[in-house]
Structure 1
Amino acid sequence: MSLLRRDCSSARLGVLGSLLVGTLLALFARSAAAEEITVYTTLLPTQLAPYTQSFRQSYPDISIKWLRDSSGVIAARLLSEGPRSPADVVFALASENIIQAGSAGLLLPYKPAGYDEIDRKFKDKNDPPLWSGVFAYMAAVCFNTIEAKKRGIPAPKKWSDLLDPRFKGQITMPDPASSGTGFISVSGWLQKFGEGPGWDFMEKLHPNIAIYTHSGNKPCNSASNGEFVAGISYSSEGVLDKGRGAPIDVIFPEEGVGWALSTVAILKSSKKQDAAKKFADWAVSPAANKVYSEFWEVIGRPAQRQQSSSSAVDPSTLITDNDHYWIASDRDRILKEWQSRFAGKSDPKR
């Protein structure tokens, strides 16, 4: 009997041991599956779901904690936090902002898988790169056709058409100090017209501006709902509003438009660099570009671009030359000059 009890006890211990090992393995697997990276982003909350879904399909063992704000706020936060930042990755921040973070030594050099396959305009000059371009967004004018007709205001074809006195108080645009969308318009004018003529253009435009908004999409939304006739915003927001039935046209002035290259970069201070690298790999992948093509006209893998209803031509032919490193090095100077001239009409709600 004692031998039988001993055998039974051994069997029970074996079962308990197996259960314990199984439980520990399950807990370990659950813990691994719960690995979370923190991503700073400028994407709108309504855009986050498809990006999250696409990433999780590629990497189901990694979850994302999104922390979003406007590009100006995120750029300032990165420089303020330095190596103490809680973020692992920065996603969809404009190149001039991410270049400043790189110059401050905050970024991890990393060449994502598939980097060689993206458009050359989307590549960092460093080798290995500190950042990778993922998509570009373009300035455009959202023009409310109904409100314009009431006021006898013709649709603009050129930027100079916005100087028409009939537009007085009927245009909004983003504050470039808080919005990347605002900054791409300002930097685009300075590069296209030259610094002197560019500032002269903005001085002449200023009387027609009702307010400089905190966010980049608000000018288009305000034009869409009839608060103002025109909003200088980014084209994708106009396409979305028009698709929802807003009575607007999305206009690309024929001189060309400013644009910003949105990027992905890994923070050197990240304690989850392996997971962060997987995010960067995904960000330049065909899977991610499929999502980009649903929102943006110019993407890192042009062959995957969908034809946008905002333009009958390839949007890449509409963008002006863009010196990302000049913009990054002169950004503070440009913003200081802009604020000294025009900040009196900036939205006080921050």
Structure 2
Amino acid sequence: MKLRTAAIAAGVASLPAFAAQAAELNLICSADVVICEKLVSEFGNSHPDISVNMVRMSSGETYARVRAEARNPQTDLWWGGTGDPHLQAAAEELTAVYESPMLPELHDWAVKQAEISGNRTVGVYSGALGWGYNTQIFESKGLKEPACWSDLLDPGLKGEIQIADPNSSGTAYTTLATLVQLMGEDEAFEYLKQLNANVAQYTKSGSAPVKSAARGEAGLGIVFLHDAVSQSVEGFPIKPMTPCEGTGYEVGSMSIIEGAPNPDEAKIFYDWVLTADVQNLMPEAGSFQLPSNKAAVASEHVPDLGEIKLIDYDFAEYGGAERRRELLARWDAEVGGRATE
């Protein structure tokens, strides 16, 4: 009897230690924080046995963190943010190979992202690059509606434009890569140096510029169009625009980290978030991107990519680590260094 009592006591004593080993998932989310929190909340409802530790970071910051943690990964899954840094991480084998059973349910552009990366990443949403401008500010200052990239060089816009820093923001890197593909590299950098005269601030987050414009702190923010639409839907005087010359687009992506401490939980989240039911919830969080699941119903506010003049964005080249380093180094030397002048 004493032995039985001792065994029971030992079992009870071990419960806290067992509970500490409960399943968990370490997630970095590179979308708007409201969307990130929505995903975590819904996943918790569907999988209450898995505790999610979520950190919101821009895609450029996440890429840098994943590289820094390569020898001792602390992150399991990276969701959202532009596809270029996901492809760069894949090229460096910082992310794990995983062929989700959900792939047949996805649009071709989402599957192509997986194919380019050797199944180390996948497309979760898509959206075009553009800007949103504050109609009240433009009207009060007598400024012309900016319909083209060239219009952003108007001297009247001095101090009115915000765009993110491409070192930290995938949105801004997509802008940089878009202009290089649209104009040619030398011409694009000449354009960016001229644009710098009108830029009031280079933000860390890609969506921050249009949020500043919505608050009246700037006249215009260069962002993905869905971020401008989100501010408009919330009732701010923001008009979304895409440039007449043409523009790039993103394939927001998702990757499991190579050597992740919780790979099984990462795969559960990965497959879950690719379902139509989950993607149908995104507009509730102000997400107006085009969902990757073919059965998901896009919000009525989602910009129609078929009506936008899109360039043939080369994800393979501009998602390459070496190309990224070259463009960012040149931006730092010729544009970023002038930001404080």
**2:218 alignment counterpart:** 228
3-state DSSP class of the match of 1:55?
helix
For residue 54 of structure 1, report the CA deviation from its aligned partner: 2.6
> What pairs up with 1:26-105 in 2 under 5 angstroms?
34-105=22-93
Q: Tell me the secondary structure at the aligned position of residue 304 of structure 1.
A: coil
The change in CA–CA distance for 1:85 and 1:127 in structure 2 (over 3 A counts) is closer
**Alpha-carbon distance change, 144 to 317 in structure 1, aligned in 2, over 3 angstroms:** closer
Separation of aligned partners in 2, 1:107 and 1:40 = 13
1:54–1:287 Cα contact (<8 Å) kept: no
The answer to whether the 8 A contact 1:37-1:64 is kept is yes
Instruction: Tell whether the 8 Å contact from 2:276 to 2:295 is kept in structure 1 after alignment.
Output: no
Is residue 325 of structure 2 the alignment partner of residue 337 of structure 1? no
Judged with a 3 Å threshold, the aligned counterparts in structure 2 of structure 1 residues 102 and 231 are, in CA distance, closer, same or farther, namely: same
The C-alpha deviation readout for 1:50-90, integer Å capped at 9, x for no partner, is: 21133234333212101221221111111121131211111
What SS is found at the alignment partner of 2:74?
Answer: coil
Letter in 2 for 1:327: Y
Question: How far off is 1:104 after superposition?
Answer: 2.1
What value does the CA root-mean-square deviation take over the aligned residues?
2.9
Structure 1 315/22 Cα, relative in aligned 2: closer, same or farther at 3 Å? farther
Contact 1:219-1:233 at 8 Å conserved across structures: yes
Map 1:169-180; keep pairs closer than 5 Å.
169-180=159-170
Q: Offset at 1:297?
A: 2.5
Q: 1:137 to 1:127 in 2, by over 3 A?
A: closer
Query: Going by fraction, where is helix more abundant, 1 or 2?
Result: 1
User: How far has the Cα of 1:259 moved from its partner?
Assistant: 2.2
Runs (5+) with no aligned partner, structure 1: 1-8
> Greater Rg, structure 1 or structure 2?
1
Deviation at 1:335, TM superposition (A): 0.8
- CA drift of 1:27 comes to 7.5
Aligned partner (choices 295, 306, 322) of residue 298 of structure 2: 306
- Following superposition, the deviation at residue 316 of structure 1 comes to 7.5
Between Structure 1 and Structure 2, how many residues are aligned? 334
Change over 3 Å in CA distance of 1:219–1:345 after alignment to 2: farther
Counterpart CA distance in 1 for 2:290 and 2:238 is 22
Residue number in structure 1 paired with 2:205: 215
Cα distance, 1:245 vs. partner?
2.2
Aligned-residue offset at 1:315: 5.8
**Could you tell me which residue of structure 2 aligns to residue 6 of structure 1?**
none
Once residues 301 and 335 of structure 1 are traced to their aligned partners in structure 2, the CA distance between those partners, rounded to angstroms, is 33
User: Residue 107 of structure 1 contacts residue 266 of structure 1 at CA under 8 Å; is this kept in 2?
Assistant: yes
Match of 1:264 among 234, 238, 254: 254
Query: Are the equivalent residues in 2 in contact too, given 1:135–1:261 (CA < 8 A)?
Result: yes
Q: Give the 3 Å change call, closer, same or farther, for CA 259–346 of structure 1 in structure 2.
A: farther
Q: Return the alpha-carbon distance in structure 1 between the equivalents of residues 188 and 229 of structure 2.
A: 27
* SS at structure 2 position matched to 1:84: coil
- TM-aligned CA deviation for residue 24 of structure 1: 9.7
**How many angstroms apart in 2 are the aligned matches of 1:81 and 1:26?**
32
> For residues 1-350 of structure 1, what are the structure 2 equivalents within 5 Å?
34-123=22-111, 124-125=114-115, 129-294=119-284, 295-309=287-301, 311=303, 313-314=304-305, 317-329=308-320, 330-344=323-337, 346=339
